[in-house]
Structure 1
Amino acid sequence: MAQHWQETLPVDQYIVASGGLLHEYDRKVLTFLYQPLIGPACLSLYMTLWAELEENRLWSEPVTHHNLMSIMDMNLKDIFHARQKLEGMGLLKTFVKNSDEGRSFIYELQPPLTPEQFFLDGMLNVYLYRKVGKNQFSRLKRFFSDKSVQAEPGFSEITKAFQDVFLSVSPEALRQNQETATDMQAEEGKAFIGRPDASKIQIDPGEFNFELLLGGLQESLIPKKAFSTKVKEAISNLAFLYGIDALKMKNIVLSAVNAENEIDIDELRKAARDWYQFEYQDQLPALLDRVQPARHKANIEKPKTQEEELILYFEKTSPRQLLIDLSGGAEPSKADLQMIEEVMFKQKLLPGVVNVLVQYVMLKTDMKLTKGYIEKIASHWSRKKISTVKDAMQLAKNEHRQYLEWAEGKKTPATQGKRKPVRKEVLPEWFEKKRDGDTDKQENQPQVDPDFEIEKKKLEEELKKFKSGR
């Protein structure tokens, strides 16, 4: 992934355009519905770009990114990552042009979804519910809804139709010649000021294995024509949202088939949600970064040491994939996945940091994830505001003795009077790296018992496989 300084420089100019008229009500939608998902920095960038547009116009004046940095009091790296989140959420389109005079951008603001579209979206509403909780979600629904006209008792509609009010004219008067038709269109290179429908979040259907899904379904159960474009888009969104593979999706699709042998999308959403809540004890998925965010990476392009290779692996791998790699390709258990999700969600740890935590804990606890132990270390790292893989490794080295005491704290009083046996430890490979000139710390490094050399070599081989496959 390219770094922000390769994509944008302070001297690069940009122009703000609007993909449609933005209404004052959109500010409330962005503030209360989108902000919990994208954060205040993204909202601030959107509002700042919006403010640069003249009222009821579609284009702003050209200005440099340095000006944007000054107005927002943010560095270009944070602005760049906020821009990417707006793009991913469908709120911004970015265009770039390279010329002899330099690089220039067009930032086209996209209107947000209407409240009705948002609450019926099927993805964003689920993420918002998980983010803000049931009570706040219900409050937001009340805020963005009102009593319908049809709910008023005793009223009946008497609205007149067009033909009831206006007289018709002769066909010749309505007929347009070619010149008249041209006059009705916008001039070349221009577009009428308006507001197109807001773009919904859509996961590329190519990301889902429909061949495997269709291969497991007989034509007599569901005809292939039932998999329309809308149905495929819904399936790909639900597969991403709930982490459902093609084999599990088969039963969910079967439960959503109606009497006409068509797939009811609403029933499909309900079935997918029920499946996820059954699997994860009534929880809903959270919107989290799948891998370490670019702004918290070590910017290692060509690793020179084995430790740098491991840092790069942790940064490019999701915690779920790490568990799969550590188990030799086997799917992780539901309990382990839920534990990792809780650590990421409650302790606000980034994916790369969680990877270091998982490897450290598993190698110290005989390849088991002990909930109390991992949560205690995670809360410590959260308080220390650890956000990079390198910092997580360093803190694990510095606090190793403290973590040993936490691990040994479960011993019963009856065993405390006995002489403690020599502890046989298996530590991560990066943990045992000695730093030049740090002789005192080298002497205090815990020694690995010779009896564990075989197991250590196995773990080293596993790590080599991980890195060779990346």
Structure 2
Amino acid sequence: MKQIWNEIQPVDQYKIVLKGMLNHFDQKVMSLLYQPLIGPNCYSLYMTLWNEVEVNRLWSETWNHYHLMNFLHLNLQQIYEARLKLEGIGLLKTYTKNVDDVRTFIYELQPPLSPEQFFNDGFLNIFLYRQIGKTHFLKLKKFFSDQRVEASDFQDITRSFHDVFKTSIDEQMIYNEELQEISKLHGDEQFIARREAEQIKIENHHFNFDILFAELRDFMIPQRAITSEVKEAIIKLSYLYGINELDMKSILLSAVNAEQTIEIDELRKLARDWYQIEHQEGLPQLVDRIQPAMYRSSVKNEGDTEEEKLITYLETTSPRQVLMDISDGSEPAKADLQAIEDVMFQQQLPPGVMNVLIQYVLIKTDMKLTKNYLEKVASHWARKKLKTVKEAMEFAIKEDRQYKQWVNTKDNKTQRRKPVRTEKLPDWFAEENNEKAAQKEIQNTESLEEKRKRLEQIRNQYKKG
């Protein structure tokens, strides 16, 4: 529990507000389109918060988080993790304030995307396809669509308002100031209404449009072709497929039509085709991406020192491959890949930073990829806006004492005290006080040492491709 004690506590109060009315159809969208992506805990949390708001109201009563824990049969850690997922996928906004040592949260539920928005998102629909497969995906698309009604062969005989109604209201009533005044809302009031959902916005930290425009300067693409919608699609596609500025230039050149415009659907198709050619895979996974060029170090080739070589390796290798290298080429467990992908999706950590995190967590948890610990450290790194491999290494060293407390707190609750052993760490994770570290004797390290050697071998394995 102490892992999230600063973030949330059972006694903390919360209120729920709806950003516009939600309806029965939204529930179907949540159940069939979002639940495969966010999982049952997130779905249950969203639906519970929704139902705690009375019918035809926008605000709920005040509750505390003990209530949620008892109601959902989830501990506070699970509720916190579910909340973060809902925030990351655009279904929840969270606000907080402290008054007289009482912390209160406002959970603002966001409406889900409409089926049309979801299936044309170019992001969520791809992850849903990969999660449930083609057959189920097509069934869901059919479920949320129907045949278009064509009225072009019919004559429109609809009567207008003036054809049907006659008014007897005099001019004095029309211009009555009191009537106009009482029709308005005042202060903090708002009308209850159905509001459109906001699509997920990918922050433009990984793509440099200046480089793209410089590359396009010698080609006959008018500036007006790169509209705001095209820019948004470029950002999303570059994030999803790992497309850099140079490759995006080639894709854009192929996407320009005879009218010198760019159609979003064609741009998405070309980006997908590019990915399949480059990776020989059906659909992308976050764990297969490598560090974007703009966040790589300036070290040429592989560097001279061991640290520079390791940085180069972590910058040019995907998280999946890092796990495979540590396991001597064995395919990583599906649960491990899912845990890494969830963290990358929620916290938007660059792949190189994720690689450092993988190494660090494996070292600290006896070569076990503990998801709770992984998510806790990842959220801390995301708040610190770590973008480069070197930043992540230095920050892990700086915060190691705090991270040890997180592990020890959990271990002390479930295990008796075990003999202390000094672990062998990669070169980038050197202790600040080398003299004290050298005085400690390594205990019970035969089997552990064999596992640690795999981390040492990865520097050489990547050279072999």
2:326 aligned partner: 360
Q: What's the TM-score once normalised by structure 2's chain length?
A: 0.66
Given that residues 92 and 108 in structure 2 are in contact (C-alpha distance below 8 angstroms), is that contact kept between their aligned partners in structure 1? yes
Distance, in Å, in 2 between the alignment partners of 1:170 and 1:80 is 57
**Bigger radius of gyration, 1 or 2?**
1
Residues 35 and 82 of structure 1: CA distance in aligned 2, closer, same or farther (over 3 Å): same
Distance, in Å, in 1 between the alignment partners of 2:105 and 2:34 is 24
Percent identical pairs in the alignment equals: 45
Given that residues 242 and 289 in structure 2 are in contact (C-alpha distance below 8 angstroms), is that contact kept between their aligned partners in structure 1? no
Given that residues 359 and 428 in structure 1 are in contact (C-alpha distance below 8 angstroms), is that contact kept between their aligned partners in structure 2? no
Stretch moving more, 129-138 or 163-172? 163-172
Aligned pair 1:374/2:340, yes or no? no
1:88-99 aligned at under 5 Å gives the runs: 88-99=88-99
1:252 aligned partner: 251
Given that residues 227 and 263 in structure 1 are in contact (C-alpha distance below 8 angstroms), is that contact kept between their aligned partners in structure 2? yes
1:59-208 aligned at under 5 Å gives the runs: 59-150=59-150, 157-162=156-161, 164-166=163-165, 176=175, 180-208=179-207
1:328 aligned partner: 312
Residues 181 and 381 of structure 1: CA distance in aligned 2, closer, same or farther (over 3 Å): closer
Distance, in Å, in 1 between the alignment partners of 2:194 and 2:219 is 44
Where structure 1 has 5 or more consecutive residues not aligned to the other structure, the ranges are: 292-323, 342-353, 365-372, 397-426, 450-455, 463-470
Distance, in Å, in 1 between the alignment partners of 2:334 and 2:266 is 43
Given that residues 10 and 64 in structure 1 are in contact (C-alpha distance below 8 angstroms), is that contact kept between their aligned partners in structure 2? yes
2:50 aligned partner: 50
Distance, in Å, in 1 between the alignment partners of 2:70 and 2:106 is 19
1:314 aligned partner: none
Instruction: Provide, for residues 96-137 of structure 1, a one-character-per-residue CA deviation record: whole Å limited to 9, x for no partner.
Output: 111114110110111111112211111111111111110010
Distance, in Å, in 2 between the alignment partners of 1:198 and 1:60 is 21
Instruction: Provide, for residues 52-103 of structure 1, a one-character-per-residue CA deviation record: whole Å limited to 9, x for no partner.
Output: 1111211111011111111111111111111011011111111111111411
Residues 144 and 287 of structure 1: CA distance in aligned 2, closer, same or farther (over 3 Å): farther
Given that residues 205 and 232 in structure 1 are in contact (C-alpha distance below 8 angstroms), is that contact kept between their aligned partners in structure 2? no
1:265 aligned partner: 264
How far apart are residue 326 of structure 1 and its match? Answer: 4.0
How far apart are residue 283 of structure 1 and its match? Answer: 1.2
1:38 aligned partner: 38
Counterpart of 1:258, as a letter, is: N
Residues 89 and 176 of structure 1: CA distance in aligned 2, closer, same or farther (over 3 Å): farther
1:231 aligned partner: 230
Given that residues 97 and 105 in structure 1 are in contact (C-alpha distance below 8 angstroms), is that contact kept between their aligned partners in structure 2? yes
Given that residues 127 and 287 in structure 1 are in contact (C-alpha distance below 8 angstroms), is that contact kept between their aligned partners in structure 2? no
Residues 215 and 22 of structure 1: CA distance in aligned 2, closer, same or farther (over 3 Å): same
Distance, in Å, in 2 between the alignment partners of 1:380 and 1:235 is 30
Residues 380 and 143 of structure 1: CA distance in aligned 2, closer, same or farther (over 3 Å): closer
How far apart are residue 226 of structure 1 and its match? Answer: 2.4
Counterpart of 2:255, as a letter, is: A
Residues 117 and 158 of structure 1: CA distance in aligned 2, closer, same or farther (over 3 Å): farther
Counterpart of 2:222, as a letter, is: P
Given that residues 17 and 60 in structure 1 are in contact (C-alpha distance below 8 angstroms), is that contact kept between their aligned partners in structure 2? yes
Instruction: Provide, for residues 241-271 of structure 1, a one-character-per-residue CA deviation record: whole Å limited to 9, x for no partner.
Output: 1111111111111112222322221211111
How far apart are residue 36 of structure 1 and its match? Answer: 0.8
Residues 163 and 213 of structure 1: CA distance in aligned 2, closer, same or farther (over 3 Å): farther
How far apart are residue 205 of structure 1 and its match? Answer: 3.4
Counterpart of 2:129, as a letter, is: Y
1:21 aligned partner: 21
Counterpart of 1:259, as a letter, is: A
Aligned pair 1:389/2:362, yes or no? yes
How far apart are residue 330 of structure 1 and its match? Answer: 9.1
1:443-458 aligned at under 5 Å gives the runs: none
Instruction: Provide, for residues 151-201 of structure 1, a one-character-per-residue CA deviation record: whole Å limited to 9, x for no partner.
Output: 9x9866543444554468999579657655443322221100001111111
Where structure 2 has 5 or more consecutive residues not aligned to the other structure, the ranges are: 291-307, 341-357, 370-423, 428-436
Distance, in Å, in 2 between the alignment partners of 1:34 and 1:115 is 11
How far apart are residue 23 of structure 1 and its match? Answer: 0.5
Distance, in Å, in 1 between the alignment partners of 2:121 and 2:314 is 34
How far apart are residue 392 of structure 1 and its match? Answer: 6.4
The CA RMSD over aligned residues, in Å, is 4.3
Given that residues 363 and 425 in structure 2 are in contact (C-alpha distance below 8 angstroms), is that contact kept between their aligned partners in structure 1? no
Residues 330 and 72 of structure 1: CA distance in aligned 2, closer, same or farther (over 3 Å): closer
Given that residues 325 and 458 in structure 2 are in contact (C-alpha distance below 8 angstroms), is that contact kept between their aligned partners in structure 1? no
How far apart are residue 207 of structure 1 and its match? Answer: 4.0
